[in-house]
Amino acid sequence: MKYQKELLKLSDIELEAHLVARRIKALITEKKDEGKPLKFSDIAILLRTNVEWAESFRRVLISEGVPAVCESSTGYFSAWEVQVMLSLLKILDNPHQDIPAWNSSPFSL
């Protein structure tokens, strides 16, 4: 009950971060119980917005006992691996669109 009252005083960012931390800890426990160990380092959180969110999430996750590192470089979406994943997601969204896969393919170099 005390935990719930504390959550009501938080900003939206902090509240979301607390919920994410609880879900991460639950996943770790669930997978451990299933005999499929999951490590914190197996999990990544991609945020949709600025550095304020990233720092708030990092702070809350650490306070909840979830190790966290914040990588908020601006060149994230220009990384080759991210471009490939975005292209694959575009194909999943529209299977008839094969051009994104070819443009980010190592064969198109």
pLDDT in tens, 57-97: 899 999 999 999 887 666 667 777 777 888 778 777 776 66
As a whole number, the mean pLDDT across the chain is 77
What are the C-alpha distances in Å from 22 to residues 16, 36, 70, 73, 99?
10, 19, 18, 26, 40
Sign of CA dihedral 8, 71, 62, 31: positive
pTM (2 d.p.): 0.59
Q: Please report the pLDDT score of residue 60 as a whole number.
A: 93
Question: Going by C-beta distance under 8 Å and a sequence separation of 6 or more, which residues neighbour residue 7?
Answer: 15, 18
Euclidean distance between CA atoms 81 and 67, whole angstroms: 24
* Helix, strand or coil, per DSSP, at residue 66: coil
